[in-house]
Amino acid sequence: MEMENLDYEGINVRLCADGKYHWTCPLDLLKNPSAYFTVCKIFGILFGIAFLTANVGPALRGEFAVIGAELKYWGIALLVFLVISGVAYLILDALYGGKYVVRFTMDENGILHEQIPAQAKKAKVLGGVVGATGALRGNPMQAGQGALIAAHTSLSSDFSKVRSIKASPRHFTILVNEPMSKNQVYTAPEDFEFVLNFIKSHCPLVK
């Protein structure tokens, strides 16, 4: 599919010599907590899988009293996760100086979301600390959380595999969703419509 609007020049978005659109977007982590919500959603799914895996056996055996007795421990684990996530998010905000700075590269095939190198390095250090702490405490959810923080410094989306797109005009954020991958695209207000329309026009599976 050919690229549209090749003469487009937005506030940040530029078509470069490589034939791809490039832009950098600083995200205020406290005013736009979408990154935090994404982490919570991912771990909510992992938490649900862990809960079901641990309780499917007792449920099949009719041991519902056992499941009920352990619910408080699952609740405590969930609360601990939320507290750790909130603290880690505030630490990231402080490390980044309040701005999460992302570079985007987009063409007709897909879009790449990358943290700037200086911030990616800090994220890996923090993720290592959180993950090691969780491993030492025997807390697999915290260990996994640290691994996610460390690894989630870049993400690419293949437009041919995207199944849904959700736009948030209020935060100038576009969620680009593949079956096993959830990407977040940030733009300047003036570039939002162009980037959204470009992505929509290059995702054949999105109705």
What is the tens place of the pLDDT at every residue in 95-111?
A: 777 787 889 999 999 99
Domain definitions of the chain by residue range: 14-201
Q: Rounded to whole angstroms, how far apart are CA atoms 113 and 27? A: 13
What pLDDT does 130 receive?
Answer: 53
Cα end-to-end distance, the chain, whole Å: 17
**How is residue 192 written in tokens?**
């939002």
Mean pLDDT over all residues of the chain? 78
Q: How confident is the model at residue 147 (pLDDT cuts 50, 70, 90)?
A: very low
Instruction: Return the ∠ at Cα 105 (arms to 99 and 106), rounded to 5°.
Output: 130
Percent of the chain residues past pLDDT 90, beyond the cut: 31
What pLDDT does 132 receive?
Answer: 47
Compute the average pLDDT of residues 178-198: 91
Q: 165 and 177 in contact (C-beta within 8 Å)?
A: yes
Tens of pLDDT, residue by residue over 50-89, are 788 888 888 888 888 878 888 888 888 888 878 877 777 7
According to CATH, what is the number of the domain 14-201?
2.30.29.30
